[in-house]
Structure 1
């Protein structure tokens, strides 16, 4: 492990919610040689630029946290961008890592890779066993391709490219855009603005009945580094040659109504909650089976209310910048 912590580590997407959390985690563990590259330094959609960057910087580990992400509205509105950009980012990074001789890569996917009506909780072997949720199918297909890229380079070239599939994430550096954000930042902002405006009600998309699992991004970062640091023998014992991805979550879910009630509590909103059933619900339930990750020695530690308080405090601290 000490050898890994002395290596040069490239975190792609370090300015995003997940990438910044991974950088924080690596620094806390004593990693002293972390390299990053913002969009002004490296366009991950440009294959030649990515290959040139790897040739120049020669990282020994790569965390692929860079991605185009968004909620139901964004996925419905920009499906072409979601599939194209995510395919290009992961393909460029994984192939460039291989060509540069990087042996260790961690690819971050999403729980949306699983079929819409997958048996709950969703096991890793549910992948490709049914149709996907239509609202985010392009994004899901791109993430599935990333898993298969890692598997293929492992099988053909003997690489150690691992994949982790997080459940719904939230926390510091989240996207709080009023239309293109995920459910937690969208609700935190909406309830916060309702409190400031003195509104008596808050309208929430959907029926409130779908169930979702939520993981604080600091837990996600801790799990990612944990999986990356596992010795190959331990990791291989808990995966299969053609099933190399690992679910990351809490193993606990709640309804969107319960989530909204908790957000109301955290933000101090005391009015009515109105659910707009004319808006899409998405997948009825998305709960991850995290037995494999637990067997590898890691469990989530940040509860939902505590995590929401942390995320809301971050939002309050950065509200002016978010609105500018």
Structure 2
């Protein structure tokens, strides 16, 4: 496609997998049985994306416990009482807390990528968690014998290895999920925390060549979980100039659910980084109404008035179920919205004469 279009990552799990996950947590479902159902869900997800014409596919994060915690799932050096993330509807998510060092990933994202590639010959995109999110695992009071500086050095090395393994395994693109970027401005309106996050992520990105960074992207959104967000009230104008300092080749920007898209697009046009492509969100996973292809077309044409078409792409605003237990959006609705994104992007290409 002349205007590339990509999913963000997660897709709601089938009911059979959700039941198995609950049974596994209660000890009623064995590891092997759960793994078989996860593999089946990956194959079904990729197959359905292929059938509706996705040029780039994902595994839908069917085997991830969450987009954020997959690297540390099963680590024995964690306590459960870490940072709490509040959402607008009152529910919260809690991260674990590192109890001792050194910090190491227990699971790497290339394991998901290699499993996905067994089911398709199409390009496969792999989402990874940004190191800035995992930096929140280190306790504010510190750890005896393991300084924050040592932790960050280990984290940077682990994040680089995670991304590089995906690139080496043939990922079409590796996407850093950076939802904490917008949230950081709610926690610290001065922007100091955001600057720290950007600097940390750049410590990782700067370890890659320009050609490699062209296959690395960053996704930003106000969080999307159980039909709620954690930072939609934070002004994009405060985030985007700092976000675009990240040394990535692609940026995936939630936009469909913004109340004033034209204003956000004007900000993007003012601070558009050199040589980067901007993928704008054209469907809203939180809205239960499925967009029409004409609505998507119009959103793409709106974006093309601000962003040169050769620098433009489309995506979903966010993942549809970033946490495994999120059932707020049905699997059928997710695929219908993805199909609208594909068809609307094609209509926009025709309207632009591409």
State the TM-score, normalizing by the size of structure 1: 0.36
Structure 1 or 2: larger helix share?
1
